[in-house]
Structure 1
Amino acid sequence: MALICSVLLMVVTTASLTYNAFTAGRAQPPKGLRYVQAADIRTRYRTWGTSGSPVVLVHGAFEQVDTWSRLAPLLARDHRVYALDLTGDGYSERRGPYTVDHFTRQLLGFLQAMHLGGPGERPLLVGHSSGAAVVADAALRAPERIGSVMLLDGDALNTGAGPPPVLKYVLIDPYRTSLLRLGLGVDGLIRSVYDAQCGPACPPLNAAGVDQWRRPLQVPGAEAALWSMLGEGVPGLPANQVAQLAALHIPKSVVFGAQDDVFSKQTPQQTARRIGAPPPTLIPGARHLTMISSPRQVAAAVEAVARVS
């Protein structure tokens, strides 16, 4: 039996190494992307709108600038809208560590590069999912540069969420690389994950939509960054640090999809109380990707905060 297992392991390992060698050609970012140096990260970003107060959109894990493409044009009617790819995701330079501290330094560097944060230019920060921790940390570090904060489908907490620790020992190279590349090659798998997170109100993914989610995980450096981020777990802040937001005299808002099963039903109310925000806005029928499923409702919630900023 031991001999059979050893032979099987050798066969599987050889097959995995061979497959990885044949699929080693990495995808390239789309042409025409815009970049700026934000702290120590060459950062991809987009802007919408030419007038009005600034709104900065900060995505969550495994998302990117284009995740905001349904919401941002609505906000751009009355605001200058900015979105960036945090390092480790999208098309920004991959440079660890992939922690809230590093993401926050990148965000604050981005505000400086965009000349935001001065008198009359203090932005409203919207952080989705794990991006909620980044905007919360930015507000705590530089409250004089931030106009207001919205936590969108995120509680900003370090809950220890992430893959089971055993996967660190089971999913090792070359096998994890083979599994990742095989999975990314299955359009139906990408669509099923998207549908589960987004819900029936979201537009179905066409070929371009599948590529939007897949390609950032295929560019040079993406795989190494992914394994590092999975090792770190979902980024977040300690509860006592998040609670310090309550002492900041800036408008705060909490918005969740009413059917967001990433969190408990109590999370939106608990989050609003913790940060000293009004009762949360719950979007009926929406799940975790509210900026895709319900852009008009999210835009209305952003406007409500912007009016009191």
Structure 2
Amino acid sequence: MKIRPWQRRLVLVLSAVLAVLCAVALPAAYAWDGPGSDYTSRYLTRVESRYADTDLARFHYTVQGSGSPVVLIAGGALWGYSWRDVLPELAREHTVYAVDLPSQGYTELRQRDFAYDLHAMSAAIGAFLDAVGLERTALVGHSWGGAWSLYFAEQHPERVQRLALLDSPGLDAEKAPITPVFRTPVLGELATNLTGRGFYADSVRGTFAHQELVTEEMIDEGYAPFATPANRAGFLALWRNLDYRLTDAGLFRVTAPTLVLWGGADAWLPASQAGRLADRIPGATATLLPGCGHTVHEDCPAETIPLLAEFLR
């Protein structure tokens, strides 16, 4: 097919525009660490920070209560602050740990070749449990934290007493709508490194049905640790490396009693996944909470916490 002069000119113009965009975008995508935060956590003045030192990481965590152990694992771009309402209530009957895994909160990664995939995140859970002396525990995970907990329960069923999954991916099924953005080269780097407090706030609000509950403190507490270069890099790597074909294939290996909790108004992952996930895990049950979003324990604490307490009891 003969190329017409106007077509040739259009190609040249588009090539020039693309070259300019790449010249501007690539430094931001690969060289710039992104906007930071000078916020000092108020939450950490209200709880006692503890650290568990391992070869893999220096894990930051908080612990309250006494009784059988429960470990809380937050979702992507969140940290132990996300459990601020859950932890003290469960601590009435349990020793409750809220741990930051690599890419979260105030944990410092020490293993340079850490893969940020399901194998690595499962190993991080095991390393933390070993460091605090927990041979067997209940695990409660939200979103990505639930996926990591699920995979750990598949690989180490003897170490998981009970398992609660809150709006957690685990099926080889629908992904969050924004997934292609972070998995696309350059575009993913741009999206991660250009995320400022405002975009982070919009993302958090998108996980709530009751957006009036998203406070300025909540945004500051979440954004401050996310804004560090190490956590941004880990966040992007997780988007690209988490392979739910692995969790899907191993669901039959879970031996712990399992509760799947899901917000009926989850805009990130369809609530239909709750029943499908529970059906595939031996002895699991699924509970939908109508009118609740993806971050169900913060969006609907009055409904979520009693269900968790009863299940763990």
Q: Give the alignment's TM-score, normalised by structure 2.
A: 0.79
What CA distance in whole angstroms lies between the structure 1 residues aligned with 2:310 and 2:94?
A: 13
The correspondence of residues 1-309 of structure 1 with structure 2, limited to 5 A, is 2=12, 6=16, 9-10=19-20, 13=23, 17=27, 26-27=36-37, 30=40, 33-38=49-54, 40-49=56-65, 51-94=66-109, 95=111, 96-117=114-135, 122-159=136-173, 161=175, 163-164=179-180, 168-171=184-187, 176=190, 180-185=192-197, 187=198, 189-200=199-210, 203-206=213-216, 208-233=217-242, 237-245=246-254, 248=255, 250-307=256-313
- Give the secondary-structure state (helix, strand or coil) at the position aligned to 1:197: coil
What CA distance in whole angstroms lies between the structure 2 residues aligned with 1:281 and 1:216?
A: 32
Question: Aligned AA for 1:203?
Answer: L
- Call closer, same or farther: CA 1:4–1:274 in 2, change over 3 Å: closer
- Call closer, same or farther: CA 1:268–1:228 in 2, change over 3 Å: closer
Q: CA deviation at 1:76?
A: 1.6
- Call closer, same or farther: CA 1:282–1:213 in 2, change over 3 Å: same
- Call closer, same or farther: CA 1:288–1:6 in 2, change over 3 Å: same
Q: Which structure 1 segments of 5+ residues have no match? A: none
Deviations 1:65-117 (A, max 9, x none): 11111211221222211011111222222452111111111111111111112
What CA distance in whole angstroms lies between the structure 2 residues aligned with 1:128 and 1:297?
A: 15
- Call closer, same or farther: CA 1:239–1:265 in 2, change over 3 Å: same
Q: CA deviation at 1:28?
A: 7.0
- Give the secondary-structure state (helix, strand or coil) at the position aligned to 1:36: strand
- Call closer, same or farther: CA 1:263–1:26 in 2, change over 3 Å: closer
What CA distance in whole angstroms lies between the structure 2 residues aligned with 1:22 and 1:156?
A: 33
Q: CA deviation at 1:12?
A: 7.1
Is the 8 Å Cα contact of residues 161 and 257 (structure 2) preserved in structure 1?
A: yes
Q: CA deviation at 1:284?
A: 2.4
What CA distance in whole angstroms lies between the structure 2 residues aligned with 1:270 and 1:76?
A: 31
Q: CA deviation at 1:30?
A: 4.8
What CA distance in whole angstroms lies between the structure 2 residues aligned with 1:34 and 1:153?
A: 28
Q: Which moved more, 1:160-169 or 1:195-204?
A: 160-169
Is the 8 Å Cα contact of residues 65 and 90 (structure 1) preserved in structure 2?
A: yes
Give the number of aligned pairs.
Answer: 292
What CA distance in whole angstroms lies between the structure 2 residues aligned with 1:227 and 1:88?
A: 9
Deviations 1:96-141 (A, max 9, x none): 2111111111111111111112xxxx32111111222222222233
- Call closer, same or farther: CA 1:9–1:167 in 2, change over 3 Å: farther
- List 4+ stretches of structure 1 deviating above 6 A: 18-25
Question: Aligned AA for 1:138?
Answer: F
- Give the secondary-structure state (helix, strand or coil) at the position aligned to 1:82: strand
